[in-house]
Amino acid sequence: MKKYCFVLLMMLFFTTLSYAQVTTSAISGKIVDVQKQALPGATVVAIHLPSGTNYSGVSNVDGYYAIMGMKPGGPYRIETRYIGYEKSDLVGINLPLGETFIYNPVMNESSIALNELVVVAAPGFNTQRTGASANISSQQLQLMPSISRSVSDFTRLVPQAASANGGTSFSGTNNRYNSFQVDGVVNNDVFGLAGTGTNGGQAGIQPISLDAIEQIQVVIAPYDVRQSGFTGGGINAITKSGSNDFKGSAYFYGNNQDFVGTTAGKNVENRKKLDKQTDMQFGVSLGGALIKNKLFFFVNGEITDKSYPTSYNVGEGSNVTKEEADQVMNHLMSISGGYNGGGYGPMDVTTKSYKILERIDWNINDNNKFTLRHSYVSGKQLNFSLSANGLRFNDNGYYMNSKTHTFAAELNTKLNNTMNNELRVGYTRVRDNRDFGSTPFPYVKVKLDNLRYIEMGTERYSTANRLDQDIVTLTDNFNLSFGSHQLTFGTHNELFMLENLFIRENFGSYVYSSLADFLSIGSAKEAKPEEYNYSFSNETITGSKNWAPSFGAMQLGLYAQDKWNLTDNFNFTYGLRVDMPLYLDKPSINEKFNASEIAKSRDLATNKMPSSTPLFSPRVGFRWDINRDNSFLVRGGAGIFTGRIPFVWISNSFGNTGVEYIRTRLQTADLKNINFKFSPDPYNQPLGKAMTSTEVDVVSKDFKYPQSFRVNLAVEKMLPFDIRGTLEGIYTKKMNDIYYQNINIEESGKMLNNFKDKRPLYGPSISADYTSVILLSNTNEGYSYNVTGKLEKSFDFGLDLMAAYTYGVSKGVNDGTSSQAYSNWSYNENWRGSNNPEVSYTDFDQPHRIIASASYKVAYGKNLATSIALFYSGNSGSRYSLCYNGDLNKDGVKGNDLIYVPTNSEIDAMIIKPLTNLPADKQRNDLKAYINSEESGLKDLQGKYAERNGLITPFEHHFDLRIMQDFYLMVGGRKHTLQVNLDVLNIGNLFNRAWGTVNSPGYSYTPIKVESIASDGTPTFSFTKPASNALYNQSDYNSRWRAQLGVRYIF
């Protein structure tokens, strides 16, 4: 406790020096007369009309002014005054989050004092943006089609974005490298377990109600050094606030099985409706003034309730037959004393959440403005799904529970006309845990032919799984304007306190190679599994069966920058940010490992953490207004971006020292000479405490947080007919990325003898004391680039149009898609060697993406208005890999060796093992036909390796529609609105069931099986023809059109 108190004092010290992530907006410019002469001492007052909040500034001797720390949104009225000149007022301005609005008033001298000239903002590019970013306004949040009402439904408006695990990937980067903040406070899942990358994501819930959000800003290459914490993209949402008008709304959104289309796809004989399901959202928002122009409140509460039946049930799309399922279930009951694994009938998958947000805004005086916000999100989800080839018995599911509290406080202070300060404090508390909620039983997987399988027992990663996160943020920014310069001195600091209970396979885990092997359990000729895993807490050391490692970490950031108006039309930004990661705890000492040759040869120790090395992020950006009227701009910049690491990767070294937890992995060769029997008792597993071999995870002392160098260049031009055109390119080079190796194995010096395939073969484990020793270090290999063209047009009669195309490439060494060190190493497909993987396409690579939107709003009659919005997304499909079934390079891992695609003559010379009813010649002919088929994607790769993620599913097209009808009512002299809206996603599928289909590849596919490898490295294979030459499945649910009805009453 004393240590953390000291840390907090340290953070306070840094905060008093200076600030970070952006929650406000600004206005700046230069005030001149008609002869372009600067007017010093002119007064600019910006009035936030809904709340009456005033912000002001005064031009300096060069005519420049800047108003900082302003509330985003609007509308604003900007008043410019100078004695002896006409008033100049700009009305109807909405300020984008995190951007500086440029306003350069030209004052007219008047013989009649204080005349007023009212102007309206003209079209153009009128912010000081230099890098790649986008702002999603409150109007866009209202109009975009959405059923989940998640932030990711709106970040798809960013051309460089792509959907990833329910979240968003930017520029081909894992969404774990994104930053997501609400009101400038961390809302990432910083530990890195949620696929969405946000708190609550493990339970399938949104981190905040969409109705509580005012604006969203997305930044990919911002050259403002205040913005950091990501090497992918930064997402910053700000919440709504109250105004002088008392306003509120009550809303309902819902759909059921009647709002979803029948089975999608071509040539489907029996198109089926979905079984009964529901998806409902209820909410209330309320805001107003407690004291007019002074004190405001806003609250939002929301409940969601979703339930749907499983797909791919036996007899309803599953490739596993009822006979096979019954055989497994009946035998399971016979060896367990009657336990049936929960059966295998259809199940309802449920998700429920509760959200509440409260916010207070206080205009203390004209110079000080204070905000306080709290939010609470609670959710529970049944995690259970089936696939066409995979059947899970019902007890193999688990419930995920999640609760998040977030507090944020912000004080904006105008010190004088040239100085401004922003102070922000945040605290986030996250509690996640898994509840398997059924009879404890060992996990069992039974492999069937044609890549099919059956799973049963307690889900192997849920036997003991809990995560506690406490995150404190302290941020301060001091801004100083003088002459043509705007200086910023700031600090952003984060303290992480984490505890993670994770004992995988704590009840034992068995994988059987065939149905026959599983059915032999309990007989005199019981077959051994092909793999057995077991983990448990070493109670003699921990004193607990559920010991959980805990540790603390910090990331301190200091920065300074200058926004310099070199000329009236050229803005130059340059700055330096320094981030310092600190580890406040160390894993325990494993004396035996530390003394081993493996550790000593690499200067490793279980109790060594990476050194605290400053990470420098210099950045420069520019903006050139060529015509001096915001109609033709060139902007860009270059810089280094430092992110934070998902702390689960660091936690691996705390949980896997080889001391507190004993983990073992035994495969066929290990089990060969062991008297091994299956045990149905989860608390009395084979070998038990007699095991000595375990996994150890260590981190290199030179390991650094992720860093990337990023450069972009963009041209923005007003084209004929007031069309806004943008052409932008972004290039990213990885400087520090993750790199995993199993240093308990090394290449044997022998090579595979498979025609041109001469990949290295690995020898046996260096030490029998360890199943694996996984080392986390860095690599600088990998890059990505994107080129985007975008057109936008707004019409006076309410029509807005947008279209964009992006071409991109993303390559890397390891995508870090797993939370476990061993999995990040073992499931990284390769041909060059597991400890020396090659650079290839990332899982998040998307070569082509086209987006387009059209929205139109018209008011008619006295009490009606209709809004229509259509969004189109066309993109390349998902990438996937083709691997061998088996361990081709003898690294101890099956299914991660990329295939070498043989030519027809090489197939004729291959050693093929005859199978029952499948002679070798038949296998050869089937393999030739498969490789030469168009669907396989392998025809042009003969004589080459099929590189990681070298295959891709077909291009996809999706249209989404929203129709919103407003009915205006006068109640008590005030205007109320009854709003009815209909969202239809994938509406093309409504008109043609073959349109809008979504294809889902697995992690990797393994149609060619490695039967054996001779002493000279010559392999023997077998080939079983897949059910389809296209190794991906059509997503049943996502390929159907889906609709949702919403009703909202606004008062």
Give dist(CA 375, CA 353) in Å, integer. Answer: 13
* Local confidence band at 126 (pLDDT 50, 70, 90 cut-offs): low
583: left (phi over 0), alpha (psi -120 to 50) or beta: beta
Q: What is the pLDDT of residues 505-564, one digit of tens each?
A: 999 999 999 999 999 999 999 999 999 999 999 999 999 999 999 999 999 999 999 999
* Local confidence band at 21 (pLDDT 50, 70, 90 cut-offs): low
Give dist(CA 871, CA 243) in Å, integer. Answer: 32
Q: What is the pLDDT of residues 62-90, one digit of tens each?
A: 899 999 989 999 899 999 999 888 888 88
Q: Tokens at residue 980, please?
A: 């009815």
Mean pLDDT check: name the lowest of 116-125, 150-159, 744-753, 843-852: 116-125
List the beta strands (DSSP E) in 436-549: 443-447, 453-456, 465-482, 485-502, 509-512, 531-537
pLDDT of 214 > 90? The answer is yes
Give dist(CA 602, CA 773) in Å, integer. Answer: 12
Q: Which residue has the higher pLDDT, 662 or 413?
A: 413
Mean pLDDT of 691-711: 90
Res 911: pLDDT? 96
Sign of CA pseudo-dihedral 821, 826, 831, 834: positive
Mean pLDDT check: name the lowest of 11-20, 426-435, 533-542, 896-905: 11-20
Give dist(CA 624, CA 981) in Å, integer. Answer: 43
CA dihedral 660, 666, 669, 673 (to 10 degrees): 80
Residue with tokens 């995150």: 471
Phi, psi (rounded to 5 degrees) for 112 = -100, 115
Which residues are CB-neighbours of 795 under 8 A, at least 6 positions away? none
Res 113: pLDDT? 41
pLDDT of 12 > 60? The answer is no
Give dist(CA 839, CA 784) in Å, integer. Answer: 12
821: left (phi over 0), alpha (psi -120 to 50) or beta: alpha
Q: What is the pLDDT of residues 310-339, one digit of tens each?
A: 988 999 889 999 999 999 999 999 999 999
Evaluate whether 762 touches 792 at the Cβ level (below 8 Å).
Answer: no
Can you give 402-442 as a three-state secondary structure string?
EEEEEEEEEEEEECCCCEEEEEEEEEEEEEEEEECCCCCCC
Residue with tokens 């070199």: 566
- What is the chain's mean pLDDT, rounded? 92
Which residues are CB-neighbours of 186 under 8 A, at least 6 positions away? 179, 426, 428, 471, 473, 494
- Give the burial string for 771-784 (b: 16+ CB within 10 Å, else e): bbbbbbbbbebbbb
**End-to-end distance of the chain based on CA atoms, in angstroms?**
49
* Local confidence band at 132 (pLDDT 50, 70, 90 cut-offs): confident
pLDDT of 18 > 80? The answer is no
Architecture of domain 2-123: Sandwich (2.60)
Evaluate whether 462 touches 398 at the Cβ level (below 8 Å).
Answer: yes
* Local confidence band at 3 (pLDDT 50, 70, 90 cut-offs): low
List the beta strands (DSSP E) in 277-418: 278-291, 295-309, 348-365, 368-383, 390-392, 398-414
Using only the alpha carbons of the chain, give its radius of gyration.
31
* Local confidence band at 124 (pLDDT 50, 70, 90 cut-offs): low
Evaluate whether 976 touches 969 at the Cβ level (below 8 Å).
Answer: yes
* Local confidence band at 379 (pLDDT 50, 70, 90 cut-offs): very high
SS3 category, 1027: coil
pLDDT of 385 > 50? The answer is yes
Res 905: pLDDT? 95
Residue of 46, 50, 52 lying closest to 27 (CA atoms): 46
Mean pLDDT check: name the lowest of 674-683, 687-696, 701-710: 687-696
pLDDT of 13 > 60? The answer is no
* Local confidence band at 17 (pLDDT 50, 70, 90 cut-offs): very low
Sequence letter at residue 183? D
Give residue limits of the domains in the chain: 2-123
pLDDT of 467 > 90? The answer is yes
Which residues are CB-neighbours of 647 under 8 A, at least 6 positions away? 190, 191, 192, 496, 498, 553
Q: What is the pLDDT of residues 474-510, one digit of tens each?
A: 999 999 998 899 999 999 999 999 999 999 999 999 9
Which residues are CB-neighbours of 905 under 8 A, at least 6 positions away? none
Question: 793 burial class (0-12, 13-18, 19+ CB within 10 angstroms)?
Answer: middle
Q: Tokens at residue 335, please?
A: 């060896």
Res 689: pLDDT? 46
Q: Tokens at residue 571, please?
A: 């803005």
CA 973 distance to own-chain centroid? 47
Give dist(CA 872, CA 960) in Å, integer. Answer: 6
* Local confidence band at 691 (pLDDT 50, 70, 90 cut-offs): low
Which residues are CB-neighbours of 685 under 8 A, at least 6 positions away? 442, 507, 508, 534, 679
CA 1026 distance to own-chain centroid? 33
CA dihedral 123, 129, 133, 136 (to 10 degrees): -40
SS3 category, 795: coil
* 0.75 exceeded by pTM: yes
Q: What percent of the chain has pLDDT over 70?
A: 96
pLDDT of 933 > 60? The answer is yes
